[in-house]
Structure 1
Amino acid sequence: MLTVNYYNDFFEIGQQKINFSFYELSLPDDDPVYTLKKVMEDLDFSGLLANCSDKGRTGYNPIMMYAVITYANMRGIRSIDRIVDLCERDIAFIWLTQGRKPKRDAFYEFKSKKLTSDILDDLNYQFMRRLQKEGFVTLKELFIDVTKIEANANRYTFVWRGSINYHLAGLLDSIDKLYSDYNSFLQDNGFGEKYELGNAQMFVIDGIDKVRDVIEKNRKRKITKHKKLSNNRIIEIDNCSPLEMLKLQKNLMAIADGEGIVFVNGKGKRKPKLQQLYEELEHCGQRLMSYKECFEIMGKDRNSYSKTDLEATFMRMKEDHMLNGQLKPAYNVQIAVENYFIVHSYVSNDRTDYNTLIPVLEKHKKAFGEVLEEVTADSGYCSEKNLLYLKENKIDSYIKLQDHEKRKTRAYSKDIGKYYNMKTTVFDDEQVYICHDDRELRHINTEKKEQNGYTQTYEVYGCSDCSGCEHKSKCLYKYNPDKDIDKNKVMKINEVWEELREKSHANIQSEKGILKRQIRSIQTEGHFGDIKENEDFRRFNYRTSDKVYKEFMLFAIGRNINKYHRFLYAKLKKFEGKLQEKTA
Structure 2
Amino acid sequence: MMLKVILYAYTQSVFSGRKIEKMLNDSIRMMWLSQNQKPSYKTINQFRVNPKVDALLESLFIQFYSQCVKQNLIDDKAIFIDGTKIEANANRYTFVWKKSIQNHESKMNEDSKALYHELVTNKIIPEIKEDHDNELTKEEIDLIGSHLDKEIEDLNQHINNEKCTKTRKQIRLKRTKIKKYKKQINDYFERKYRYEFQKSILKDRNSYSKTDYDATFMRMKEDHMKNGQLKPGYNLQIATNSQFVLSYNVYQNPTDTRTMIPFLNSIQETYGHLPEYIVADAGYGSESNYKAIIDDFNRTPLITYGMFIKDKTKKYKSDIFNTQNWNYDEINDEFICPNNKRLGFKRYTYRHDKYGYKRDFKLYECDDCSECPLKNQCMNFNSKTNKKIMKNYNWEYFKSQINKKLSEPETKNIYSQRKIDVEPVFGFMKAILGFTRMSVLIMIYFFIADLPLILLALQLVPQPFFEDLVDSHISLIGV
- Bin the TM-score by the shorter chain: 0.7 to 0.9
- In the TM superposition, residue 259 of structure 1 has moved relative to its aligned partner by 4.3
CA offsets 1:218-247 (integer angstroms, 9 cap, x no match) = xxxxxxxxxxxxxxxxxxxxxx71111111
Structure 1 counterpart of 2:403: 505
Q: Report what 1:456 is aligned to.
A: 359
* Partners of 1:425 and 1:433 within 8 A in 2: yes
Give the Cα–Cα distance (whole angstroms) in 2 for the partners of residues 76 and 508 of structure 1. 39
**Aligned-residue CA RMSD (Å):** 2.7
Between Structure 1 and Structure 2, how many residues are aligned?
455
CA deviations over 1:526-553 (Å, ceiling 9, x no partner) = 1222222222212111121112223122
Q: Look up the match of 1:553.
A: 452
Q: Structure 2 vs 1, CA of residues 570 and 177 (structure 1 numbering), >3 Å: closer, same or farther?
A: closer
Q: Please say if 1:293 is aligned against 2:191.
A: no
CA-CA distance at 1:402 after TM superposition:
0.7
Name 1:249's counterpart in structure 2: 145
Does the C-alpha gap of structure 1 residues 136 and 318 become closer, same or farther in structure 2, counting only changes over 3 Å? Answer: same
Describe the shift of the 1:412–1:117 C-alpha distance in structure 2 as closer, same or farther (beyond 3 A).
farther
Aligned-partner Cα distance in 2 for 1:342–1:139: 13
Amino acid of the structure 2 residue aligned with 1:128 = Y
Contact 1:401 1:505 in 2 (8 A): no
Query: Structure 1, residues 185-230: CA drift from partner, whole Å, max 9, x if none?
Result: 32xxxx66xxxx236564625xxxxxxxxxxxxxxxxxxxxxxxxx
Does the CA contact (< 8 Å) of 2:7 and 2:453 recur in 1? yes
Structure 1 residue corresponding to 2:248, chosen from 333, 336, 345: 345
Query: Could you tell me which amino acid in structure 2 is paired with residue 352 of structure 1?
Result: T
Q: Note the 1:111-260 alignment, pairs <5 A.
A: 111-186=48-123, 197-198=126-127, 202=132, 204-205=134-135, 241-260=137-156
1:373/1:396 contact within 8 Å kept: yes
Aligned mates of 1:563, 1:457 — CA distance in 2: 50
Tell me the alpha carbon deviations over residues 171-197 of structure 1, each in whole angstroms, 9 at most, x when there is no partner: 2232133113312332xxxx66xxxx2
In the alignment, which of 337, 352, 356 is matched to residue 435 of structure 1?
337
TM-score, with normalisation over the residues of structure 1? 0.72
In structure 2, relative to structure 1, the CA distance for the partners of 1:245 and 1:336 (3 Å cut) is same
Distance 1:418 1:545 in 2: 45
Shift of 1:313: 0.9
What does residue range 296-315 of structure 1 map to in structure 2 within 5 Å?
Answer: 296-300=200-204, 302-315=205-218
Which residue of structure 1 lines up, in the alignment, with residue 312 of structure 2?
A: 408
> Alignment partner for residue 492 of structure 1, among 390, 398, 414?
390
- Hey, what's the Cα distance between the residues in 1 that align with 2:158 and 2:105? 32
- How big is the shift at 1:416? 3.1
**Identical amino acids, percent of aligned pairs:** 29
8 Å contact from structure 1 (residues 450, 456) kept in 2: yes
How many Å separate the matches in 2 of 1:349 and 1:261? Answer: 56
- 2:333 is paired with a residue whose SS is strand
Q: 1:571 to 1:132 in 2, by over 3 A?
A: closer
Contact 1:142 1:337 in 2 (8 A): yes
After TM superposition, the structure 1 = structure 2 runs for residues 260-271 of structure 1, keeping only pairs within 5 Å, are 260-261=156-157
Tell me what 2:236 maps to.
333
Cα deviation, 1:296-344, whole Å, max 9, x if unaligned, reads: 11112x2111101111111112222444322111111111110010111
Structure 1 gaps of 5+ residues are: 1-63, 206-239, 264-268, 573-584
2:376 alignment counterpart: 473
Partner residue of 1:544 out of 433, 438, 442 = 442
Per-residue CA distance 1:369-418 (angstroms, 9 max, x = gap): 33411122111101111111121123222212211232233331133344
Partner residue of 1:370? Answer: 273
CA–CA distance in structure 2, aligned partners of residues 168 and 437 of structure 1: 52
- Give CA-to-partner distance per residue, 1:52-83, whole Å, 9 cap, x none: xxxxxxxxxxxx22232223223332221222
Q: What letter matches 1:454 in structure 2? A: Y
Q: CA contact under 8 A between 1:365 and 1:372: conserved in structure 2?
A: no
Q: Is the 8 A contact 1:256 1:262 kept in 2?
A: no
Instruction: Determine if contact 1:249/1:281 at 8 Å carries over to the other structure.
Output: yes
From the superposition, tell whether residues 119 and 463 of structure 1 become closer, same or farther in structure 2 (CA, over 3 Å).
Answer: farther
Query: What displacement does 1:468 show?
Result: 3.3
Displacement after TM superposition at 1:144 (Å): 1.4
Relative to 1, partners in 2 of residues 1:410 and 1:449: Cα closer, same or farther, differing over 3 Å? same
CA distance in 1, matches of 2:147, 2:352: 45
Deviation at 1:525, TM superposition (A): 1.8
Superposition TM-score, scaled by structure 2 size: 0.87
Give the secondary-structure state (helix, strand or coil) at the position aligned to 1:334. Answer: strand
Match of 2:301 in 1: 397
Q: What secondary structure does 1:156 align onto?
A: coil
**Does structure 2 retain, via aligned residues, the 8 Å contact 1:416–1:475?**
no
User: For the Cα contact (< 8 Å) 2:365–2:387, is it kept in 1?
Assistant: yes
Q: Which has the bigger relative contact order, CA under 8 A and spacing at least 6?
A: 2
2:17 is equivalent to residue 87 of structure 1: no
Report deviation, 1:257.
3.4
Q: Distance in 2 between matches of 1:138 and 1:523?
A: 12
What is the distance in 2 between the residues matched to 1:102 and 1:463? 77
2:164 alignment counterpart: none
Q: Give the SS at the match of 1:272.
A: helix
- Supply the distance in 2 between the matched residues of 1:527 and 1:464 (Cα, whole angstroms): 56
* Contact residue 68 and residue 97 of structure 1 kept, 8 A: yes
Deviations 1:428-450 (A, max 9, x none): xx633232233332221111222
Kindly state the Cα deviation for residue 170 of structure 1 after the two structures are TM-superposed. 2.5
Deviation of 1:261 (Å): 4.9
> Contact 1:443–1:460 at 8 Å: present in 2 too?
yes
Q: Secondary structure at the match of 1:121?
A: helix
- Counterpart contact for 1:335–1:344, Cα < 8 Å: yes
Which stretches in structure 2 are left out of the alignment for 5+ residues? 160-171, 474-479
